[in-house]
A and B are shown apart, each in its own frame.
Chain A
Amino acid sequence: KQEVTQIPAALSVPEGENLVLNCSFTDSAIYNLQWFRQDPGKGLTSLLLIQSSQREQTSGRLNASLDKSSGRSTLYIAASQPGDSATYLCAYFGKYNFNKFYFGSGTKLNVKP
């Protein structure tokens, strides 16, 4: 059974702090992993995609890494801002079904001014 776990479920930090969000998965046949941001009551915004052959991706203050052997991905946010407050979800699809995405339940981040 494919499971995606995101810990912690909620996180509150002061503005300016660097932080790491975690995503763990049990599927050894993971192919691509994607990180999303979701604002309350809204859809998901794609942040970073890590392809199967890559170990990390960077976009601005965000850096995502993927370690398939240990079943972990991390999203690093540098110099956090109140505008970063949202729920962050990770999702992957496996190499046996490119149309089946498995989602974590998210980490709700609050960055305090």
Chain B
Amino acid sequence: SAVISQKPSRDICQRGTSLTIQCQVDSQVTMMFWYRQQPGQSLTLIATANQGSEATYESGFVIDKFPISRPNLTFSTLTVSNMSPEDSSIYLCSAKTGNRAPHEKLFFGSGTQLSVL
């Protein structure tokens, strides 16, 4: 298993500002992901954070809006840039653990609840 620490847990931000969310895993993991969960909705994958290289973004998400860093195998950050009220969501960091399929399991951080005024 893995324990994922995510911070901040919540924040209220002004329109046009940026917020960086940090994610720390207590063990080395191969894959880290960032998800967004809008109110009342399921999870939408923003990007896969790749260690030592640029993140892989899903359709509808771009690096300028959601820059991601992953300097090592246990840490990643997601920045929500130039925020608008539409960015109000829960942002979730996750990691996949296990040596190989089919033993791999997905774990999540506690989430960051973001409100943009």
Q: Which residues of A contact B (CB under 8 A)?
A: 31-32, 34, 36, 41-46, 49, 51-53, 89, 91, 98-101, 103-106
With beta carbons under 8 angstroms apart, the residue of B6, B10, B102 that contacts A43 is: B6
B31 on the interface (CB 8 Å rule)?
Answer: yes
With beta carbons under 8 angstroms apart, the residue of B4, B102, B105, B107 that contacts A31 is: B102
Contact call A41/B31, Cβ cutoff below 8 A: no
How many residue-residue contacts, CB under 8 A, span A and B? 59
Contact call B101/A32, Cβ cutoff below 8 A: yes
Contact call A43/B106, Cβ cutoff below 8 A: no
* Nearest 6 pairs of A and B residues by beta carbon: A51-B102, A43-B111, A43-B108, A105-B42, A44-B108, A43-B110
Contact call B10/A41, Cβ cutoff below 8 A: yes
Which residue of B has the minimal Cβ distance to A44? B108
B117 on the interface (CB 8 Å rule)?
Answer: no
Which residue of A has the minimal Cβ distance to B113? A41
Contact call A89/B108, Cβ cutoff below 8 A: no
Which residue of A has the minimal Cβ distance to B56? A99
> A99-B96, A103-B42, A105-B42 in contact; A43/B104 too (CB < 8 A)?
no
Contact call A101/B109, Cβ cutoff below 8 A: no
- Tell me the smallest distance from the CB of B88 to a CB of chain A, in Å: 12
B99 on the interface (CB 8 Å rule)?
Answer: no
Question: How far, in whole Å, are A51 and B105 apart by their CA atoms in the complex?
Answer: 10
